[in-house]
Amino acid sequence: MSIVVGILFAIGTYLILSKIFLRIILGTSIIGHGANLLLLTMGGLKKGGPPLRDLQELSFTDALPQALLLTAIVINFATTALFLVLSYRAYKVLGTDDVGELRGYPDE
């Protein structure tokens, strides 16, 4: 799992360092998935029953990382969607999808 997280972070970093809007957004999304996976891994991958009081299991899984993960996925989803819409608008208005051309203009 840790190796997968590492690979995801590597790919994400590579994509973010590129110059095209869409690649950057995909990069943030992939890094986000890497972080989610890391959250799950760090919580400890345990075997056991669901943490409900009525079940007579001896070992329980830790429910907290999953709850955190769910929240993080929703947030990541929402921000990525917003980011995509914004970059599309920026592409239409600015007429470029190259980050290198996003520097300021001297007359502003």
Residues that bind another protein (CB under 8 A): 16, 21, 24, 28, 31-32, 34-36, 38-39, 41-44, 64-65, 68, 71-72, 75, 78-79, 82-83, 86-87, 89-90, 93-94, 99, 102, 104, 108
For 68-99, b/e burial (b = at least 16 CB within 10 A) is ebeebeeebeeeeeeeeeebeeeeeeeeebee
The residue (of 49 and 81) whose beta carbon lies closer to another protein is 81
The residue (of 54 and 107) whose beta carbon lies closer to another protein is 107
